[in-house]
């Protein structure tokens, strides 16, 4: 008993140190005065200032943000359609194949996804002349292909939890299917849509491998710039940039977590209501 | 509605040859793959009826209801509502509304918006929508709750919102899927009467699906008992209870003692059934349409049997047994009596005296007897 009381917290502390010590040291050293990353020379925010002067980084950040936003929006639209089809259209030819294909990008190695997309874009350019060259557009398309799968999973799981008779009731009251989708289904699953958007946004902001395959000149994303800079040695500037990225991703994750929790609470409430309803 | 001079005083349109049925279900079959949910089912329901489809779960009653609503299409046969063939008409164009077992209220809309939803689909002016929705909320006594969301209501209030929402479009036919199953016992009894009152006020034809025989008995003008996709008996609650046509119906509605036997005397005005199970001959003072020597079953309701310590000295319909179990239920007591043949028989007796010191207890020898009119003889 005593041993356990000692062991569990220790294991937990060690685990957290292992996971978060690198990030904490990165954040701490981003406020270092010295140019040497490993030597502490006093507090300073000069590297954040330097960051704002660095056009290359600012441009890459702007590219990344635009790609992430566009990607998240498109992925939510397509992923919602895919998730809706999987959850609501129970019987159609090729349903299993469709479901498998939608979910496949989740388990596909990034290198394979990146390489195959690169080959596709090259072939398409040769055959159709579109997309012309590689860059902003191809990265966005590539990100949508895998973000969509995540959104589809989130939406599908939310829809299969939702009481289908709610949609039937709307149908019964005279609303047409398309109207029901927009007036009943979408508002009910809205928290899942927001969570899916934020998840897609962070996935896109994080991605290095796929973007490296399908990017072209002048369209380097932020992770690509960081990666290429680090190969020339770690500078405190990169620490500052990474700190900002950690903050952005953390905020995104927390907000999406709040929405998912709210959705879970709503679902629990639904279930409780249903249980109270079924309970004799 | 103009009543003809020779109209029966009691509401029994199905007995009136001049009445045309309002809903006609003609030899409808519904298959899901290999599984037959409803088989060759025909049924006629009349205007202003409160018709209950009663059956155990999986008997096809909900499938039949969903076909009326338009969520499922019959595999064969047809459904007419007010003379119009419903084939190919989607749910949103049918003059039918449904109240769902889970109530299916829209969680993101408040009570007033829920009730008004159906009217908004008809593109009525906003003021008319508001007025009509308000009326419906008053009808179900929820006027004060218009701004609440469904999760802020109790089960009984949600049930009433669902009812108001399904009645707001003045449907020709209202389908209710287990409307009271979600409520606790006290509330359910109260709501049964409320539902009947509302049905009378709005004059809409109701079709109710339920597995609760007591609910069906209280509510309906007629009951259709379903088993394995077929209607096995249609009749008023009294018909179904007192004159079941099969062992299944007798056993499903209320409790019953069933004695298997052989017909040994078959006269137009009486029959005698020799039952090994009862260890006696059962005398029945009405004719039965079955040949001599036929295998038959005599069904006797527990409340139609009498129990006594003394031998009532009757020639017929009397049998001896030992009390096996006594259950005191307050208003009445249930006895399980073991006959000499080993068969256990159930008898209920009203508790007319308070704290009766002379009541029959465990292991006493008793005599059971019943009127010659009490047994119902069924042949299947």
In a domain, A44, yes or no: no
Q: Chain A: residue nearest B119 by CA?
A: A173
Task: Give contacts of A168 with chain B, Cβ < 8 Å.
Answer: 69, 71, 91, 98, 100, 104
Reply yes or no on whether the pLDDT at B18 is more than 90: no
In the block, residue with structure tokens 């002016």? B125
- Of B87, B69, B70, B65, the C-alpha closest to B78 is B87
Structural domain contains residue A253: yes
> Helix or strand or coil: residue A94?
coil
pTM given for the model: 0.81
What ranges do the domains of chain B cover?
13-247, 255-308+318-378
Domain encompassing residue A82: 58-274
Q: What is the pLDDT of residue A2?
A: 66
pLDDT in tens, B250-268: 988 888 999 999 888 888 8
Distance CA A207, CA A145 (A): 13
Fold that domain B13-247 belongs to in CATH: Rossmann fold (3.40.50)
pLDDT tens, B21-45? 999 999 999 999 899 999 999 999 9
Is B130 in a helix, a strand, or coil? helix
Helix (H) or strand (E) holding A71: helix A55-88
Please count the structural domains in chain A: 1
Tokens matching residue A136:
């902003």
Structure-token match 């309002």, residue found: B22
CB contact under 8 A, A276 and B182: yes
Q: Let me know if B98 is exposed, middle or buried by CB neighbors in 10 A (0-12, 13-18, 19+).
A: buried
Find the closest chain A residue to B108 by CA distance.
A188
Instruction: Write the CA distances from B318 to A57, B114, B340, integer angstroms.
Output: 102, 61, 13
Q: Do B91 and A168 touch (CB under 8 A)?
A: yes
> Which residue among A166, A174, A179 places its CB closest to the CB of B106?
A166
CB–CB contact B102 A276 (8 Å): no
CA distance A77 to A186: 11
H or E segment to which residue B60 belongs: none
User: Can you tell me the distance from the alpha carbon of B250 to that of B241, in angstroms, rounded to the nearest whole number?
Assistant: 7
**Rounded CA gap, A37 and B226, in Å?**
81
ipTM over 0.95: no
CATH number at residue A85: 1.10.3720.10
Could you identify the residue written with the tokens 């802020």?
Answer: B152
Cα dihedral across residues B253, B255, B259, B260: positive or negative: positive
In sequence order, the β-bridge partners of residue B367 are B308, B320
Whether residue A276 and residue B108 make contact (CB cut-off 8 A), yes or no, is no
Is residue B9 predicted with pLDDT exceeding 70?
no
Q: How far apart are CA B316 and CA A16, in angstroms?
A: 87
Condensed to tens digits (0 to 9), the pLDDT of residues B40-88 reads: 999 999 999 999 999 988 899 999 999 999 999 999 999 999 999 999 9
Helix (H, G, I), strand (E, B) or coil at B171: coil
* Token code pair at residue A40: 């502490």
Whether chain A has a CB inside 8 Å of the CB on B118: the answer is: yes
| Residue with the two structure tokens 């339920």 | B210
The verdict on a CB contact (< 8 Å) between A278 and B100 is no
Distance of CA A211 to the CA centre of its chain: 14
Q: Minimal Cα distance from A272: which residue of B?
A: B151
**Running DSSP on this structure, what letter comes out for residue B312?**
-
Contacting residues of B for A178, CB less than 8 Å apart: none
First-last CA distance in chain A: 44
**Kind and range of the H or E run holding B370:** strand B365-370
Residues B195-217 have pLDDT tens digits of 888 898 888 999 999 998 888 99
In chain A, which residues touch B (CB < 8 A)?
A: 163, 165-166, 168-176, 179, 184, 187-188, 266, 269-270, 273-274, 276-280
A241 vs A57: CA distance, rounded Å = 9
Separation between Cα atoms, residue A102 and residue A116, nearest integer Å: 16
* The pLDDT value given to residue A184: 94
How much is the pLDDT for A270?
67
- A183: helix, strand or coil: helix
**Mutation site for B-interface testing, chosen from A164, A167, A171, A173 by largest number of B Cβ within 10 Å:** A173
Distance of CA B26 to the CA centre of its chain: 22
pLDDT in the model for residue A275: 57
Walk along chain A (280 residues) and give the pLDDT tens digit of each residue: 567 788 889 999 999 999 999 889 888 888 888 887 778 888 888 889 988 888 888 899 999 999 999 999 999 999 999 999 999 887 788 888 988 988 888 888 999 999 999 999 999 999 998 888 888 999 999 999 999 999 999 999 999 988 899 999 999 999 999 999 999 999 999 988 988 998 899 899 889 999 999 998 888 999 999 888 888 877 788 888 889 888 988 888 888 788 878 877 876 776 666 555 544 3
pLDDT cut 70: percent of chain B above it? 98
- Report the top-level CATH class of B255-308+318-378: mainly beta
CB spacing of A175 vs B117 below 8 angstroms: yes
Judge contact between B325 and B370, C-beta under 8 A.
Answer: no
Interchain contact, A279 vs B97, CB within 8 Å: no
């Amino acid at each position: 008993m005593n041993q356990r009381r000692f062991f569990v917290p220790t294991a937990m502390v060690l685990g957290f140190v292992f996971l978060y010590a690198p990030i904490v040291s990165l954040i701490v050293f981003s406020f270092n005065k010295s140019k040497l990353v490993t030597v502490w020379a006093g507090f300073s925010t000069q590297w954040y200032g330097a960051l704002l002067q660095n056009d290359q980084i600012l441009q890459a950040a702007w590219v990344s943000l635009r790609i992430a936003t566009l990607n998240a929006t498109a992925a939510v639209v397509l992923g919602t359609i895919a998730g809706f089809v999987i959850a609501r259209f129970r019987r159609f030819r090729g349903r299993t194949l469709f479901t498998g294909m939608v979910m496949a990008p989740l388990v596909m190695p990034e290198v394979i996804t990146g390489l195959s997309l690169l080959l596709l874009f090259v072939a398409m350019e040769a055959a159709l002349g579109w997309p012309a060259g590689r860059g902003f557009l191809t990265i966005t398309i590539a990100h949508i292909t895998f973000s969509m799968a995540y959104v589809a999973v989130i939406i599908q799981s939310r829809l299969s939890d939702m009481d289908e008779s709610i949609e039937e009731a709307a149908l019964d009251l005279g609303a047409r299917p398309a109207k029901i989708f927009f007036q009943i289904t979408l508002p009910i699953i809205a928290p899942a849509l927001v969570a899916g958007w934020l998840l897609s946004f962070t996935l896109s902001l994080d991605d290095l491998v796929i973007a490296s395959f399908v990017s072209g000149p002048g369209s380097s994303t932020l992770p690509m710039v960081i990666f290429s800079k680090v190969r020339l040695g770690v500078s405190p500037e990169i620490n500052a940039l990474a700190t900002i990225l950690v903050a952005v991703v953390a905020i995104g994750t927390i907000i999406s977590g709040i929405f998912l929790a709210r959705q879970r609470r709503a679902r629990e409430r639904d279930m409780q209501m249903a249980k109270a309803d079924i309970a004799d | 509605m103009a009543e003809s001079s020779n109209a029966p005083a009691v509401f029994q349109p199905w007995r009136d040859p001049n009445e045309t049925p309002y809903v006609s279900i003609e030899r409808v079959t519904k298959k899901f793959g290999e599984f037959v949910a409803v088989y060759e089912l025909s049924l006629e329901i009349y205007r202003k009826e409160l018709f209950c489809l009663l059956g155990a779960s999986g008997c096809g009653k909900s499938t039949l209801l969903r076909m009326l609503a338009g969520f499922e299409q019959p595999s064969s046969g047809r459904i007419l509502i007010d003379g119009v063939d419903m084939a190919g008409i989607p749910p949103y164009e049918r003059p039918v509304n449904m109240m769902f077992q889970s109530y299916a209220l829209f969680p993101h809309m408040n009570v007033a918006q829920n009730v008004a939803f159906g009217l908004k689909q008809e593109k009525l002016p906003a003021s008319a929508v508001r007025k009509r929705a308000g009326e419906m909320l008053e009808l179900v006594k929820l006027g004060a709750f218009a701004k609440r969301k469904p999760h802020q209501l109790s089960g009984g209030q949600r049930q009433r919102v669902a009812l108001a929402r399904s009645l707001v479009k003045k449907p020709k036919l209202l389908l209710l899927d287990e409307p009271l199953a979600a409520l606790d016992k006290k509330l359910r009894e109260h709501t049964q009467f409320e539902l009947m009152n509302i049905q009378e006020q709005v004059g809409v034809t109701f079709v109710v699906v339920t597995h609760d025989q007591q609910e069906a008995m209280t509510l309906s003008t007629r009951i259709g008992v379903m088993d394995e996709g077929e209607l096995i008996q249609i009749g008023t609650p009294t018909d179904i209870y007192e004159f079941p046509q099969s062992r299944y119906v007798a056993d499903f509605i209320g409790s019953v003692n069933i004695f298997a036997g052989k017909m040994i005397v078959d006269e137009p005005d009486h029959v005698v059934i020799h039952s090994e199970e009862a260890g006696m001959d059962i005398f029945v003072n009405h004719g039965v349409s079955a040949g001599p020597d036929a295998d038959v079953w005599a069904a006797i309701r527990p409340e139609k049997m009498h129990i006594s310590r003394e031998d009532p000295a009757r020639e017929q319909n009397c049998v001896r047994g030992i009390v096996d179990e006594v259950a005191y239920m307050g208003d009445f007591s249930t006895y399980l009596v073991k006959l000499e043949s080993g068969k256990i028989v159930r008898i209920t007796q009203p508790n007319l005296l308070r704290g009766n010191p002379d009541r029959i207890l465990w292991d006493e020898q008793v005599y059971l007897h019943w009127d010659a009119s009490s047994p119902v003889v069924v042949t299947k």
